[in-house]
Structure 1
Amino acid sequence: MKQTNKRLSKTKATGEAEKLLKFAEISYPAADVDSVQVEKVRYYCRQLITLITFKEQLFKKMISVAEQIPEFKIFCSVPGIGPQSAAQLLGELGDYSTL
């Protein structure tokens, strides 16, 4: 990180991005479109999309269950804590009245 130019202007960044795009246009892919490597990448991309969708559904369910708990609104009133964080806190703490 010490060698990174921290004062990179927008103009210079745009210029560097354009250079990268030019290099990308003249470079050749390392694998054919119908190769096994490309199929693996496509498979993993589909799996990732499925997992992300599943995770979002779980968070929605967590929030809907947590909304039934009176303390949920209290946690949500704390600056920086949204519905997802409040639901996770309630899930982790459980019945915190015994603490």
Structure 2
Amino acid sequence: MSLFFSRQSSLIAYPQAIEVKRNTPYIPPEIILVILNMLSDDKKTLASCALVNRTFNLHAIPILYHTISFTFPLTFTRFADTIYCVTECSSLIRHLDLSGFSTC
């Protein structure tokens, strides 16, 4: 039985909270990684998957940061600011594509 406090600070029991926890399906991390690798070209969906839970996040973030491409200087500036603040992500970058920048 799970216990929660209401706004009146009285103790309320919610046995169904335990039921939900027990019935949550388990997906092995190896399967999650296979699924996320199939989404490697769809950055928007991959970013959404990173928000599902810790396991998805653990596997999605390295795929998201593996190859970074830029077409506009503004997006590069925002990305550089992010990498400067979150240095753990910078070590995940394997390819940085700046070919979309114009030379003029």
Do they fold alike, i.e. is TM over 0.5? no
Higher helix share: 1
Which structure carries more relative contact order (alpha carbon 8 Å, separation 6+)? 2
State the structure with more CA Rg. 1
Q: Pick the TM interval, shorter chain.
A: 0.3 to 0.5
Q: Which has the higher strand share?
A: 2
State the TM-score, normalized to the length of structure 1. 0.32
